[in-house]
């Protein structure tokens, strides 16, 4: 990529015997909203910590915002905003005090602090809670405050490690509206997430598996990777149903979602008819059978299953 | 070094001390409570030691002697007994700590100036009380003999003084009466001021445990800025105690303060710098609060007790321990506090200790800054 703001070659980090990040080549362009997905323990957090200059590299090279990650990590820190997965603000300080603290640490000019905090509070809808101690905020508000603190110095790059884990759906949506706004204003954002609907909102998604970047593309293209269509239906006896339809010709994969069964098939129209026939014949009750669009979730699980085989 | 960064860290840490109740208690109230507790525990004066008496002589003189011994608050007569076996029984039960056995020839030998045949049996499992009883009885016996024999001596034509060729008079300077509290409390102050150092070690470990350290490491804040900003509030909190502790010692324990208060204050600031630097080193190396707590006790309080000369004179230590005690800020500070409290000496004598505190402070801070890395794992 020509105007890459983050570029890594063979980025490697080991912990004792395990290799958390294994020769990672990553190139992220200016202004991208980049999603980092992968199962737990795949190396997402380690990758973000490496990019934030919080861990030593065991191998490879990387540049972040034009600085060498090995030698100039302190210069990088001025250009990035990093948000750890765990809540990491000062619980005894109020919302306003936390913002002021980070403003001073990031050398925001004193005359600008008041205006920037005011804007960020509005942005994060925390204005009415500004005198409240961080410890007494809800989980969602804490996440928004943490984001506001990482934005106080108007960083070029945002590194967010699972910022919406453990947050209620409404706060999650609100948080992503904020991210989309930042994205539209030109901030480069790298966000790791376990939620596939969030990955769907990214401009590009990288799937990490066992420390390696397995696939890296736009959500649309990743979904297209799955050659085929999705058939779904609801049933009470999904175990038996899965057994029956799994053996049918043209069914590539079967995934269960609660009482729903999602089937990846080569031809939607044709297979839907065959599947309903087979289920009726076996006397399995089902409802709502239809051809559904492939979502990131199915694509993700399918990819991981293929990797594990 | 950015002054603004240091100030930001310092302000945040002050808020932490003031708003976090356990930190507040540890930094400000624990030293006061510990001083009170230790001053009482370590300076118990021996009084009313119960003894048994076995008087084989049963003369008027021996009865007078026993009366002399048990008058006053030092020794109490628990029981007059008739045999050694009874004494053993009393000692075994812990009813008495010592027993006085008076020889059948006690009064005869005394009046014949052949000595005072008697025996003191003490409970070796409690040598403190027993030793005290022996000293007390010996002192009283000498006085008793002098009085009982004075008439006889004069009748023989000697003056009383001529019988005592040696006249040793002991004067204790700076702490007349050798009150242990006067000597101990200024020394104890140097020990209890270790608590702010423990707090700073805990505060650093707390930041690691709560992930705020990770957040700080991702900012451009300098390593030294972070450490110095963190030290200042704990030094200030320690200085609050530096003022309160001597007031407590003077008001509560009547310990004299003969020296210059400004000098004490200034040198105490140097000590706080040195001891807080020690806390910072611990905080830099220990990743959890539990570890920081354990190591603080090993590095600050344990040596503070044994190596600083508070209870055991440094000159009587093996050489390696003497060297180690030089590296303890408490060693130098205990000399300073005792010197200022009791004889009231000034900087002309205390300057080497002040210099040592400054050197230790800068070395510790330097080591901490050198080994502190803005990296995880």
| ipTM rounded to 2 decimals | 0.85
* Same domain, residue pair A20 and A112: yes
Contacts of B375 in chain A (CB under 8 A): 54-56
Contacts of B220 in chain A (CB under 8 A): 74, 77-78, 105-107
* Same domain, residue pair A118 and A214: yes
With beta carbons less than 8 A apart as the criterion, state whether B228 and B362 touch.
no
Query: Which of B12, B20, B376 comes nearest A49 by C-beta?
Result: B376
Q: For A65-210, where are the E strands, in sequence order?
A: 67-68, 80-83, 157-161, 188-192, 204-209
Work out the angle between the directed axes of helices A268-282 and A238-246 (0-180°, nearest 10): 120
Containing domain of residue A235, as a range? 227-293
Q: Is residue A243 part of a domain?
A: yes
Backbone angles phi, psi at A233, to 5 degrees: -155, 160
Which of A223, A248, A265 corresponds to the end of one domain?
A223
Burial of A175 (0-12, 13-18, 19+ CB in 10 A): buried
Q: Is residue A304 part of a domain?
A: no
* Same domain, residue pair A31 and A98: yes
* Same domain, residue pair A177 and A204: yes
With beta carbons less than 8 A apart as the criterion, state whether A245 and A251 touch.
yes
Cross-chain Cβ contact A54/B20 below 8 Å = no
Cross-chain Cβ contact A105/B216 below 8 Å = yes
The whole-angstrom distance between residue B265's C-alpha and the CA centroid of its chain comes to 21
Sign of CA dihedral A222, A224, A226, A229: positive
Tokens of B96: 């008495």
pLDDT of residue B45: 66
* Same domain, residue pair A164 and A241: no
Parts of chain B belonging to CATH 3.40.1710.10 = 49-149
pLDDT of residue B163: 54
Q: Is residue A308 part of a domain?
A: no
Q: Is residue A307 part of a domain?
A: no
Contacts of B15 in chain A (CB under 8 A): 90, 92-93, 97
Cross-chain Cβ contact A54/B5 below 8 Å = no
Which of A161, A194, A223 corresponds to the end of one domain?
A223
* Same domain, residue pair A81 and A151: yes
Which residue reads 């303890």 in tokens? B328
pLDDT of residue B165: 44
Is pLDDT at A253 greater than 70 in this prediction? yes
Q: Is residue A309 part of a domain?
A: no
CA distance A215 to A222: 8
pLDDT of residue B170: 57
As for how many domains chain A has, the answer is 2
pLDDT of residue B161: 58
pLDDT of residue A148: 93
Is pLDDT at A112 greater than 90 in this prediction? yes
* Same domain, residue pair A131 and A235: no
pLDDT of residue B172: 59
Distance, in angstroms, between A117 CA and closest chain B CA? Answer: 16
How does residue A54 score in pLDDT terms, banded at 50, 70 and 90? Answer: very high
Considering only A167-176, A251-260, B76-85, B249-258, which range has the smallest mean pLDDT? A251-260
pLDDT of residue A103: 96
Cross-chain Cβ contact A89/B215 below 8 Å = yes
Cross-chain Cβ contact A107/B221 below 8 Å = no
Is pLDDT at A34 greater than 90 in this prediction? yes
Cross-chain Cβ contact B220/A74 below 8 Å = yes
In tens digits, chain B (377 residues) has pLDDT values of 889 999 999 999 999 999 999 899 999 899 999 988 888 877 666 778 889 999 998 888 889 888 888 887 788 888 888 888 898 888 888 888 889 999 898 888 888 878 888 888 888 887 778 888 888 888 888 888 877 777 777 777 666 555 554 555 556 566 555 566 677 888 888 889 999 999 999 999 999 999 899 999 999 999 999 999 999 999 999 999 999 999 988 888 888 888 899 999 999 999 999 999 999 999 999 989 999 999 998 888 887 777 666 677 767 777 777 777 888 898 899 889 888 988 888 888 899 999 999 999 999 999 999 999 888 87
Q: Is residue A14 part of a domain?
A: yes
Which of A223, A251, A270 corresponds to the end of one domain?
A223
* Same domain, residue pair A234 and A189: no
* Same domain, residue pair A173 and A37: yes
* Same domain, residue pair A165 and A238: no
CA distance B145 to A125: 94
Distance, in angstroms, between B191 CA and closest chain A CA? Answer: 30
What average pLDDT does the structure give for chain B? 85
Considering only A215-219, A228-232, B302-306, which range has the smallest mean pLDDT? B302-306
* Same domain, residue pair A107 and A163: yes
Q: Is residue A301 part of a domain?
A: no
How does residue A275 score in pLDDT terms, banded at 50, 70 and 90? Answer: confident
Q: What is the assigned CATH class of domain B49-149?
A: alpha beta
Query: Which of A77, A89, A133 comes nearest B220 by C-beta?
Result: A77
State the CATH number of the domain containing residue A265. 3.30.70.980
* A contact test, residue of B3, B19, B214, B222 with most A CBs within 10 A: B214
CA distance A197 to A189: 17
Work out the angle between the directed axes of helices B347-371 and B329-341 (0-180°, nearest 10): 150
CA dihedral A49, A53, A57, A62 (to 10 degrees): 100
| List of residues 6+ apart from B370 with CB closer than 8 A | none
Contacts of A84 in chain B (CB under 8 A): 211, 214-215, 218
Q: Is residue A164 part of a domain?
A: yes
| Mean pLDDT confidence for A205-214 | 90
Query: Which of A88, A92, A106 comes nearest B220 by C-beta?
Result: A106
């Amino acid at each position: 990529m020509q105007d890459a703001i983050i570029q890594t070659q063979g980025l490697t980090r080991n912990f004792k015997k395990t290799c958390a990040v294994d020769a990672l080549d990553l190139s992220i362009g200016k202004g991208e909203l980049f999603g980092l997905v992968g199962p737990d323990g795949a190396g997402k957090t380690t990758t973000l910590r490496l990019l934030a200059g919080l861990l030593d590299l065991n191998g490879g090279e990387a540049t972040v915002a034009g600085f060498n990650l090995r030698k100039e990590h302190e210069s990088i820190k001025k250009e990035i905003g990093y948000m750890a997965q765990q809540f990491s603000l000062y619980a005894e300080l109020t919302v306003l005090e936390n913002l002021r603290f980070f403003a001073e640490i990031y050398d925001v000019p004193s005359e600008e602090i008041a205006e920037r905090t005011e804007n960020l509070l509005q942005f994060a809808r925390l204005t009415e809670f500004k005198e409240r101690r961080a410890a007494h905020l809800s989980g969602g508000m804490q996440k928004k405050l943490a984001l506001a603190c990482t934005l106080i110095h108007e960083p070029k790059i945002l590194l967010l490690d699972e910022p919406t884990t453990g947050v209620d759906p409404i706060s999650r949506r609100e948080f992503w509206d904020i991210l989309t706004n930042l994205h539209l204003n030109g901030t480069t954002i790298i966000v790791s997430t376990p939620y596939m609907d969030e990955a769907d909102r990214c401009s590009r998604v990288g799937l990490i598996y066992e420390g390696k970047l397995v696939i890296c593309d736009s959500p649309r293209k990743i979904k297209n990777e799955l050659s085929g269509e999705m058939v779904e239906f609801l049933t009470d006896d999904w175990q038996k149903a899965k057994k029956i339809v799994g053996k049918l010709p043209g069914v590539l994969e079967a995934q269960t979602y609660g009482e729903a069964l999602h089937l990846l098939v080569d031809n939607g129209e044709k297979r839907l008819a065959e599947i309903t026939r087979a289920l009726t014949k076996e006397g399995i009750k089902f409802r709502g059978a239809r051809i559904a669009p492939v979502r990131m979730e199915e694509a993700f699980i399918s990819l991981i299953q293929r990797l594990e085989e | 070094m950015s002054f603004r960064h240091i100030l930001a860290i310092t302000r945040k840490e002050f808020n932490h001390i003031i708003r976090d109740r356990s930190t507040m208690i540890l930094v400000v109230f624990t030293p006061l409570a510990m001083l009170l507790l230790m001053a009482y525990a370590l300076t118990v004066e021996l009084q009313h030691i119960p003894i048994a008496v076995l008087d084989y002589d049963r003369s008027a003189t021996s009865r007078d002697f026993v009366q002399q011994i048990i008058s006053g608050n030092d020794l109490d007569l628990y029981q007059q007994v008739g045999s050694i076996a009874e004494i053993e029984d009393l000692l075994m039960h812990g009813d008495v700590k010592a027993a006085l056995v008076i020889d059948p020839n006690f009064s005869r030998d005394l009046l014949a100036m052949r000595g005072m045949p008697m025996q003191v049996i003490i409970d070796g499992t409690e040598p403190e009380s027993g030793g005290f009883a022996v000293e007390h009885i010996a002192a009283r016996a000498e006085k008793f003999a002098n009085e009982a024999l004075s008439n006889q001596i004069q009748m023989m034509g000697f003056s009383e003084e001529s019988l005592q060729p040696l006249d040793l008079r002991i004067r204790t300077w700076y702490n007349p009466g050798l009150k242990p509290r006067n000597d101990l409390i200024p020394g104890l102050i140097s020990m209890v001021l270790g608590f702010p150092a423990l707090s700073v070690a805990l505060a650093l470990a707390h930041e690691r445990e709560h992930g705020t350290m990770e957040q700080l490491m991702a900012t451009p804040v300098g390593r030294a800025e972070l450490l110095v900003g963190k030290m200042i509030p704990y030094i200030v909190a320690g200085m609050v105690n530096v003022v309160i502790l001597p007031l407590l010692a003077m008001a509560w324990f009547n310990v004299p303060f003969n020296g210059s208060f400004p000098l004490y204050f200034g040198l105490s600031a140097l000590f706080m710098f040195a001891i807080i630097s020690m806390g910072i080193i611990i905080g830099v190396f220990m990743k959890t609060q539990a570890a920081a707590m354990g190591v603080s006790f090993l590095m600050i309080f344990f040596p503070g007790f044994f190596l600083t000369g508070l209870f055991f004179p440094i000159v009587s230590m093996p050489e390696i321990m003497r060297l180690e005690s030089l590296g303890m800020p408490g060693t130098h500070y205990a000399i300073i506090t005792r010197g200022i409290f009791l004889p009231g000496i000034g900087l002309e004598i205390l300057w080497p200790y002040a210099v040592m505190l400054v050197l230790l402070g800068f070395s510790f801070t330097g080591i901490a800054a050198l080994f502190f890395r803005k990296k995880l794992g």
